[in-house]
């Protein structure tokens, strides 16, 4: 089963040489690496969020196995969809799905469904892969898309993924793919996003969920982020660090309507 890229040439270059040039520009060199349990990384076009994403990836000691949790922007496919076999193609090559970990996760719950349709046109996971490929030659991953849901489902998904990782018995990095506030003035977006970021830094998935809803923060990956926080807490997370924050206005110069991007590592 092959999942072909759908936003190459749009969100990032479809030319391998040009894509490598972009990644070299966005990923700082000489940054000390550290092991992490999880991360929040934006998924907009590289022109806008590549600097924030690159700052996160530059600091990560990337393990051989990764789970990427992304929101389902398209509305296609199962509500909670895991692709459990095959490869994902990017201009930089193929990334295999870790079928062992995927099956362990599916065996823990009926809430997740093995489903290709939810992944076929969704960009939030795809845009993470070239950063990882640039930094690591050989890794496998498990892609999971999540639609909006009750917080109780975030807790349940976090518990089952954590159990599966423990059974898997090897280091796993959990990436939550998310942008922050969408299409509000720069200062208002920053103020709202700081409320959500503070809950992530406090390792408080329930508080993040409540804050996003009560403050009407248009954080598209709140469910993936809440699940990632739940998983990492169960795996022993002690702290989180804000690596970078920016808005699209910092690039475009249009501060009237921006999208926010936060890069965070959970250790």
17 contacts: CB under 8 Å, gap ≥ 6: none
- C-alpha 220/C-alpha 233 separation (Å) is 22
Helices (H) and strands (E) in the chain, counts: 11, 12
CATH, range 2-266: 3.40.830.10
Tens-binned pLDDT, residue by residue, of the chain (267 aa): 999 999 999 999 999 999 999 999 999 999 999 999 999 999 999 999 999 999 999 999 999 999 999 999 999 999 999 999 999 999 999 999 999 999 999 999 999 999 999 999 999 999 999 999 999 999 999 999 999 999 999 999 999 999 999 999 999 999 999 999 999 999 999 999 999 999 999 999 999 999 999 999 999 999 999 999 999 999 999 999 999 999 999 999 999 999 999 999 999
Contact (CB, 8 A) for 68 and 252: no
Reading phi first (left if > 0) and then psi (alpha if -120 to 50, else beta), residue 96 is in beta
Question: Parallel, antiparallel, or unpaired for β 113-114 and 80-82?
Answer: parallel
pTM (two decimals): 0.98
- What is the tens place of the pLDDT at every residue in 109-159? 999 999 999 999 999 999 999 999 999 999 999 999 999 999 999 999 999
């Amino acid at each position: 089963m092959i999942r072909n890229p759908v936003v190459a040439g749009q969100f990032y270059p479809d030319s391998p040489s040009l894509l490598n040039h972009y990644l070299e520009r966005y990923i700082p060199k000489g940054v000390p690496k550290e092991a992490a349990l999880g991360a929040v990384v934006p998924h907009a076009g590289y022109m806008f969020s590549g600097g924030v994403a690159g700052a996160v990836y530059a600091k990560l000691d990337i393990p051989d196995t990764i789970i990427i949790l992304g929101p389902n922007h398209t509305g296609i496919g199962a509500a909670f969809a895991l692709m459990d076999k095959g490869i994902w193609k990017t201009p930089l090559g193929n990334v295999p799905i870790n079928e062992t970990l995927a099956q362990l996760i599916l065996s823990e719950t009926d809430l997740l469904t093995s489903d290709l349709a939810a992944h076929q046109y969704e960009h939030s996971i795809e845009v993470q892969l070239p950063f990882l490929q640039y930094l690591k030659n050989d890794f496998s991953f498990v892609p999971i898309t999540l639609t909006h849901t009750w917080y109780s489902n975030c807790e349940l998904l976090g518990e089952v993924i954590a159990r599966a990782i423990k059974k898997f018995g090897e280091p796993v990095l959990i990436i939550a793919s998310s942008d922050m506030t969408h299409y509000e003035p720069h200062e208002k977006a920053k103020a709202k996003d700081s409320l959500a970021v503070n809950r992530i830094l406090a390792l408080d998935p329930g508080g993040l969920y409540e804050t996003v809803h009560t403050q009407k923060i248009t954080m598209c990956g709140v469910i993936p982020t809440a699940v990632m926080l739940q998983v990492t807490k169960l795996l022993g997370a002690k702290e989180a660090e804000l690596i970078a924050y920016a808005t699209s206005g910092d690039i475009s110069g249009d501060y009237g309507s921006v999208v926010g991007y936060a890069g965070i590592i959970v250790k």
